[in-house]
Amino acid sequence: MDEHQVFDDIKELRSAIALLRELLKTINDEKEIWFTKKSALREQITSLISGLKESKSARDKSTAQVKLSKEKREGLNDKRKELQKEVKVLEKERTAMMQKLNLDKPPMVLKKSIEHLERKMETEALPFNKEKELMAKIKEIKKKLEECKGVDEVSKKLSLARKELSRIGMQSQEFHLEVTAKAKLSQEKHVALVENAKSIDHLRKEEKESTKKALFYKEVYNILSDSLKEYLDHLQKMTGEVVEIKEKKKKEKIARNQEMLEEKGKSVEEKIKLKKKLTKDDLLLFQATNN
């Protein structure tokens, strides 16, 4: 191969290698960008999944609390309905007993009437006739009160039932407010859970795309790396050829010089045979050829 052609080929090959190395750096940078993004997305997804599990646990716990509160509220509502029925029954029973005894006032009112009359007798200076009249009235009311002991018992039961009904009503209202608040909280957690799940799906799509691009640039990088290796191997081979050419030229030059010396040596020997005068160069040449 022509030496100049080899040098031109080497120059062109080195230029191609420089461009290829620059391109490899660009491709590698792009590859690392996508792999870094993929890793960041994976960490983000892992973190969100962990949070999602905690949120799901919190939501399920909140939902269970809502269910429990509802059951308690329903139990109280059932009890309240029973008490409402009981109150109605006791009211009817007391009304019937009062009608039967011809009472226009409940026993409690009669008791208060007795207390009022007794206090009046104790605190006021009344004429004998008036005092006697009050005593007769007290006796009459007491007799009536004695007759309506059953009404009094029913009234006590009715009073207790009404108090219990009021207490349960308040408790039921508290549970209702509690259920409403917990249900709202549970719904908020559910909405947040759904949003987080959507975010994870979106990030997974991004991760998939990032992985696809990262692997694409990795494949391109590997192909270019193989090409660079081939170019470098070829450069090494061509450099070896240059060395061989130079070595060959060197040997050829030495051979030519040796041949030239031998020719000149023969010329000097001829002069010596003919006993011609030798020049300084002839003497040096004769010395060189004999060494």
Residue-wise pLDDT tens digits, 179-234:
888 888 888 888 888 888 899 999 999 999 999 999 999 999 999 999 999 999 98
Q: Distances from the Cα of 142 to the Cαs of 74, 105, 107, 139, 158, in angstroms?
A: 45, 13, 10, 5, 22
Can you tell me the mean pLDDT for 110-124? 83
Q: Are 120 and 134 in contact (CB under 8 A)?
A: yes
Can you tell me the mean pLDDT for 56-81? 85
Residue 29, pLDDT score: 95
Residue 41, pLDDT score: 93
Q: Can you tell me the distance from the alpha carbon of 134 to that of 114, in angstroms, rounded to the nearest whole number?
A: 10
107 CB neighbour count, 10 Å cutoff: 24
Q: Which amino acid is at 89?
A: V
Task: Residue 10: name the closest of 232, 199, 171 by CA.
Answer: 232
Can you tell me the mean pLDDT for 53-71? 82
Q: Can you tell me the distance from the alpha carbon of 209 to that of 57, in angstroms, rounded to the nearest whole number?
A: 31
Q: Dump pLDDT digits (tens) for 150-183.
A: 777 888 888 899 999 889 888 888 888 888 888 8
What residues contact 197, with CB distance under 8 A and at least 6 apart?
Answer: 52
Mean pLDDT of the chain: 84
Can you tell me the mean pLDDT for 44-66? 83
Better pLDDT: 95 or 223: 223
Q: Are 186 and 62 in contact (CB under 8 A)?
A: yes
What is the CB-side half-sphere exposure of residue 220 using CA atoms within 13 A?
Answer: 18
Can you tell me the mean pLDDT for 74-87? 90
Domains in the chain: ranges and CATH? 1-245 (1.10.287)
Can you tell me the mean pLDDT for 259-283? 71
Q: 54 pLDDT band (50/70/90 cuts)? A: confident
Q: Can you tell me the distance from the alpha carbon of 239 to that of 45, in angstroms, rounded to the nearest whole number?
A: 53
Which pTM does this prediction carry? 0.51
Can you tell me the mean pLDDT for 136-148? 80
Residue 273 has pLDDT above 60, yes or no: yes
Better pLDDT: 153 or 279: 153
Q: Can you tell me the distance from the alpha carbon of 101 to that of 199, in angstroms, rounded to the nearest whole number?
A: 77
Better pLDDT: 89 or 185: 89
Q: Can you tell me the distance from the alpha carbon of 75 to that of 180, in angstroms, rounded to the nearest whole number?
A: 17
Q: Can you tell me the distance from the alpha carbon of 75 to that of 168, in angstroms, rounded to the nearest whole number?
A: 10
Q: How many Å is the maximal CA-CA distance in the chain?
A: 203
Q: Can you tell me the distance from the alpha carbon of 214 to that of 11, in angstroms, rounded to the nearest whole number?
A: 34
Residue 130 has pLDDT above 90, yes or no: no
Task: Residue 30: name the closest of 210, 226, 229 by CA.
Answer: 210
Q: Can you tell me the distance from the alpha carbon of 200 to that of 206, in angstroms, rounded to the nearest whole number?
A: 10
Residue 1 has pLDDT above 60, yes or no: no
Give percent of the chain above pLDDT 90. Answer: 26
Better pLDDT: 96 or 28: 28
Better pLDDT: 142 or 22: 22
Can you tell me the mean pLDDT for 271-290? 68
Better pLDDT: 24 or 124: 24
